[in-house]
A and B are shown apart, each in its own frame.
Chain A
Amino acid sequence: MPAILETRRLSRAFGALRAVSDVDLAVEPGELRAIIGPNGAGKTTLFHLISGVLPPTAGQVLFRSADITALAAPARCRSGMSRTFQITSLFPELSVVENVRMAIQLKSGGNYRLVGGGRRLTETERQARSALGFLRLDDRAGLPAAALAHGDQRLLEIAMALAQGPDLLLLDEPTQGLSSEETAATVDVIREIARERELTILLVEHDMDVVFNLAHRVTVLQFGQVIADGSPAEVRANAEVQKAYLGALA
């Protein structure tokens, strides 16, 4: 099966720093792929390059075999990839349901309805509420997003991405700053998403337990380069990975 997402010698330099360097990645449809690596390995930069938040300095990004390197972030999102951010990114003063509704509206159109559009608002709000129900946030739908607990804010961001009905979901450290209970709950949610929706998930993660629990396949980055790529068991057994990453933790 052809890869849904592919990067070819993808690179990004910040001055002399090569944050991402010649990364080749191929993610199969339906796969749950984790990208791990020590701090500063270039994981988030790689995410920015894939989602179009940052332009690469060299290399290509292919989505469903089409070269999307020249597409800006909004067009990439519309083509079927939705992402979350490492540092929670919401519309803080808007209600929880309006955050999700806005995600749906922006993806599905009708954004330039200058007057009226009441039916469109009602319809997207109904969809938003059902998306919130899936992540069990529906009881807090009316609260401002900023009033949610940190863990719920992270869930809300996933809900927003998921409500867009993407083919590829990019999650940047979804368990960042969560307690161990919250982390476990989030892992369950991600597994549930992977099982119930036909989508591909690309996950940047710091927490090794999360990665080895969830991922079908793991890619390890160090100094912006891929140093290993394989099943969780293979990666765990890889000597170079142990030295670079797991060793650093121990």
Chain B
Amino acid sequence: MVEERVRLCRHAQFVETIDRSALDCFTNSPSVGGVGGHYGRVRAPLGAPDVMVTPLRRALPWLVVLVFAGLPWALARYQLSILTDLMIYGLFALSLDLIMGYTGMVSFGHAAYFGLGAYTSALLLLDSAVPVPVAMVAGALVAALIAWPVGYLSTRATGIYFAMLTLAFAQLLYTVAYKWRSLTGGSDGITGVPKTALWPSGPSLATPRAYYWLVLGTFVIAFLICRAVVRSPFGRALVAIRENERKFLTLGRDPRGFKLCVFVISAAFAGLAGSLFAPFRGFASPEVMFWVLSGQVLMMVIVGGIGTLIGPAIGAGVFILIQEILSSYTEHWMIFTGAIFVVMVIFLPGGIVGTLRRVAESRAA
């Protein structure tokens, strides 16, 4: 137990960082129970049959979606807006989990792609008043397009070097957003971004409810796509890369292609989240590309449960709710949120979802 905590703390500090390829010349690959071990025994081993699937369990996620779809009738306007915010960040955190949880690549610069999506959709909606879904697709595509060369260069490195490269590129993009005043409005950003229609002269998305349903729908579809990806042969390969990259290499494939591919997919979903954010808040400013947001989304993933897909979305929810509640009581709320996350990382190894699964498994055993 203690060992597992230490492992998780280590993980939170990103100590899994030595560039192993640099040591490759002299050492053999990481031995069993070494590097891969610090995810704890949280997930069921892949390939094991899931004996727990009952009809209720199958239906449960859809019931949850149904409840969420009905919430606009039960919640106040303000609460609905928090919930919308929460799902946008949830989608963002989910996108990071693809590379961080499944492939073992810790990115310190994921906000860049969120920001690219936000700016793209803000500019398109303001200048051309295209339907929101068009802005969303464009936001995802632009994020993916920029992520391609960044990923190509970053995935040459591993561990802390990869993290530093992603951070450097993100800060570079942040600077561009800050300095390119004629396009981005500089530090003021782009304001007055409208929520247009669902399709040309279609239903308006300007009401909180309509926009909430758009975000909910997008989240559900994005989640299903990501889940299909992690369960595909490609997704299995990603997990193998996380577990032992050197072994992967000698089994016949270059991991870099896989890492680039998942990096671009992840950036596209981050861009999708950003493209929902700009019309929702009505603005895009350089802060949405800043490293602070990259750090926050990392926390969401870790708190929620790394490598569980739904966990990071839950982590985003917890993160936003704690922030909302505490900030209404004290202006020093950041001290308390910091303390809460330290406690959660230490006492909930594997995050919220990881801990729940472990409890469920020990009950079943």
Query: Which residues in A have some Cβ–Cβ distance to B below 8 Å?
Result: 14, 44, 51, 53-54, 72-74, 77-78, 82-83, 85-95, 97-98, 101-103, 105-107, 110-117, 120-121, 125, 141-146, 153, 160, 164
Interface residue total, chain B, C-beta cutoff 8 A = 45
In the complex, the answer to whether A114 meets B33 with C-beta atoms within 8 Å is no
A114 CA / B230 CA spacing, docked (Å): 8
A225 to chain B, nearest CB (A): 20
A222 CA / B31 CA spacing, docked (Å): 27
A116 CA / B230 CA spacing, docked (Å): 10
- Pick 11 A–B contacts, CB within 8 A, sort by A: A87-B27, A93-B39, A94-B45, A95-B45, A95-B48, A106-B253, A113-B233, A116-B228, A142-B45, A142-B47, A146-B33
- Which interface residue of A77, A93, A102, A146 has the most chain B CB atoms within 10 A? A93
In the complex, the answer to whether A106 meets B24 with C-beta atoms within 8 Å is no
A110 CA / B85 CA spacing, docked (Å): 38
Digit string of B230-257 for contact with A (CB within 8 Å is 1, else 0)? 0011101101100110111111111000
Q: Which of B12-48 contact A (CB under 8 A)?
A: 24-34, 36-37, 39, 41, 43, 45-48
In the complex, the answer to whether A117 meets B233 with C-beta atoms within 8 Å is yes
B232: which of A72, A86, A103, A114 is its contact (CB, 8 Å)?
A114
A72 CA / B24 CA spacing, docked (Å): 14
In the complex, the answer to whether A74 meets B247 with C-beta atoms within 8 Å is no
**Which of chain A's residues has its CB closest to B243's CB?**
A91
Contacts of A77 in B (CB 8 A): 250-252
Asked if B160 CB lies within 8 Å of chain A CBs, one says: no
**Which of chain B's residues has its CB closest to A124's CB?**
B233
**Which of chain A's residues has its CB closest to B45's CB?**
A95
- Which interface residue of A115, A116, A144, A164 has the most chain B CB atoms within 10 A? A115
A110 CA / B232 CA spacing, docked (Å): 10
Contacts of B33 in A (CB 8 A): 92, 146
In the complex, the answer to whether B37 meets A92 with C-beta atoms within 8 Å is yes
A90 CA / B41 CA spacing, docked (Å): 16
Q: Which of B304-324 contact A (CB under 8 A)?
A: none
In the complex, the answer to whether A74 meets B46 with C-beta atoms within 8 Å is no
In the complex, the answer to whether A74 meets B253 with C-beta atoms within 8 Å is yes
Contacts of A160 in B (CB 8 A): 251
A74 CA / B248 CA spacing, docked (Å): 8
Known: A53-B24, A94-B45, A146-B37; 11 extra A-B contacts, CB below 8 A, are A54-B25, A78-B252, A83-B250, A91-B247, A92-B33, A93-B41, A97-B47, A101-B236, A111-B234, A117-B233, A164-B251
A106: which of B48, B237, B265 is its contact (CB, 8 Å)?
B237
A96 CA / B288 CA spacing, docked (Å): 43
In the complex, the answer to whether B237 meets A144 with C-beta atoms within 8 Å is no
- Which interface residue of A82, A86, A87, A107 has the most chain B CB atoms within 10 A? A87
In the complex, the answer to whether B32 meets A153 with C-beta atoms within 8 Å is yes
In the complex, the answer to whether B237 meets A73 with C-beta atoms within 8 Å is no
- Given the known inter-chain contacts A114-B232, A116-B232, please indicate yes or no for A85 contacting B249, CB distance below 8 A: no
Shortest 4 CB-CB contacts between residues of A and residues of B:
A95-B45, A87-B28, A91-B243, A77-B252
Contacts of A125 in B (CB 8 A): 47
- Given the known inter-chain contacts A92-B36, A146-B33, please indicate yes or no for A112 contacting B234, CB distance below 8 A: yes
B252: which of A89, A142, A164 is its contact (CB, 8 Å)?
A164
Contacts of B31 in A (CB 8 A): 87-89
In the complex, the answer to whether B249 meets A91 with C-beta atoms within 8 Å is no
Contacts of B26 in A (CB 8 A): 14
A58 CA / B74 CA spacing, docked (Å): 74
- Given the known inter-chain contacts A111-B234, A117-B232, A120-B233, please indicate yes or no for A102 contacting B240, CB distance below 8 A: yes
Asked if B258 CB lies within 8 Å of chain A CBs, one says: yes
Contacts of B344 in A (CB 8 A): none
- Which interface residue of B26, B36, B41, B47 has the most chain A CB atoms within 10 A? B47
A130 to chain B, nearest CB (A): 15
Contacts of A85 in B (CB 8 A): 28-29, 247, 250
In the complex, the answer to whether B258 meets A111 with C-beta atoms within 8 Å is yes
